[in-house]
């Protein structure tokens, strides 16, 4: 039974750690399906995390913090669109610039506003999203097998966790069952055909980037208002890049993206669980190796196990209307 409890705890950590990856991965899915490569997911998550924690600390409201996180992330997404869609700039350069701006501005503003070395004040209980305990979770906690699954894996998460996983079927429905999704996929494959049909390529791509901004804002708010209880310097720690890797691993499909993010979350949870634990035939593994394990396995998975991943044909290429 102790082994089962340990497995449930690792899976619970997997769910919590995969949420920001999943939201960022779905955000990248919208933009890349529309033909806009967005390496700036990391930066938009970071500004969302800072804006959410700062607003929640000042206004003492978790929901105002979430709204501010989404607003600022959408603003950065529109800046990326202005550079790469309106002015047809290089999408990689624009995304990298957003990452640099986010990394520098969050520290500078955090120090200027709160004088805590770039951090925001620790958030009180009303300023962050708490766990939602489902009905009967405490009553069935002692029931073998089903009790821990219901009380730990299903119950006890914040509202943003449920939003993240509900976003997967919603994204599938939007992309594959709505007119907007059909046009979005078409503009990522053949923007000239969409333009010939009288549909604005630029406006479709801007709407995709707005979706990207909303999801990265929620991901950033989750990091600072659920997982950490405040903003700290560079708290995204490369999660935006891992989300891009998960997106490629999932071959730009929302359900596959969920499983890819759960896999990366599991590797992260396992590395945390095994830190300082002696392994059979190996002994105690250095903490630095365990911390690097998820990133190393990400590279291995991308290099050898996904086969040929074909991105949208118009991805990364600015559309120039033929005269």
- So where are the chain's domains? 2-124+136-302
- Read off the pLDDT of residues 75-89 as tens digits, 9 standing for 90 and up: 999 999 999 999 988
- Read off the pLDDT of residues 12-48 as tens digits, 9 standing for 90 and up: 999 999 999 999 999 999 999 999 998 999 999 999 9
Q: How many residues does the chain have?
A: 323
* Cα→Cα distances 118→23, 54, 143, 237, 313, Å: 25, 11, 46, 15, 41
Average pLDDT over residues 171-180: 94
At residue 323, does pLDDT exceed 60? Answer: no
- Read off the pLDDT of residues 269-305 as tens digits, 9 standing for 90 and up: 888 887 767 767 666 777 777 777 777 777 777 666 6
CA nearest 36: which of 242, 249, 317? 317
- CATH match for 2-124+136-302 among 1.10.3470, 1.10.10, 2.60.40, 1.10.287: 1.10.3470
* Cα→Cα distances 227→18, 121, 240, Å: 11, 15, 16
Three-state DSSP state, 264: helix
């Amino acid at each position: 039974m102790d082994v089962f409890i340990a497995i449930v705890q690792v899976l619970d950590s997997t769910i919590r750690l995969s949420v920001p990856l999943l939201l960022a991965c779905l955000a990248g899915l919208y933009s890349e399906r529309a033909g806009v490569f967005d390496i700036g997911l990391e930066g938009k998550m970071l500004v969302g995390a800072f804006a959410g924690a700062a607003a929640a600390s000042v206004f003492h409201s978790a929901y105002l913090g979430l709204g501010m996180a989404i607003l600022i992330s959408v603003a950065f997404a529109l800046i990326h669109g202005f550079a790469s869609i309106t002015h047809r700039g290089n999408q990689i350069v624009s995304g990298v610039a957003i990452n640099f701006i986010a990394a520098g501005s969050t520290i500078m503003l955090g120090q200027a506003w709160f004088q805590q070395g770039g951090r925001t004040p620790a958030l009180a209980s009303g300023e962050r999203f708490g766990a939602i305990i489902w009905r009967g979770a405490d009553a069935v906690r002692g029931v073998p097998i089903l009790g821990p699954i219901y009380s730990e894996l299903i119950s006890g998460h914040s509202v943003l966790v449920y939003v993240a996983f509900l976003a997967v079927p919603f994204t599938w429905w939007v992309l594959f069952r709505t007119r907007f999704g059909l046009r979005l996929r078409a503009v990522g494959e053949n923007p000239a055909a969409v333009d010939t049909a009288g549909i604005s390529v630029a406006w479709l791509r801007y709407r995709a980037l707005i979706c990207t901004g909303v999801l990265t804002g929620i991901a950033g708010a989750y990091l600072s208002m659920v997982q950490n209880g405040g903003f700290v310097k560079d708290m995204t720690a490369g999660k935006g890049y891992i989300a891009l890797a998960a997106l490629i691993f999932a071959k730009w499909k929302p359900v596959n993206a969920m499983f890819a993010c759960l896999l990366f979350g599991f590797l992260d949870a396992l590395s945390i669980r095994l830190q300082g634990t002696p392994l059979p035939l190996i002994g105690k593994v250095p903490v630095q190796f365990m911390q690097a394990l998820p990133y190393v396995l990400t590279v291995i998975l991308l290099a050898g196990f996904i086969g040929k991943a074909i991105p949208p044909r118009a991805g990364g290429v600015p559309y120039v209307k033929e005269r």
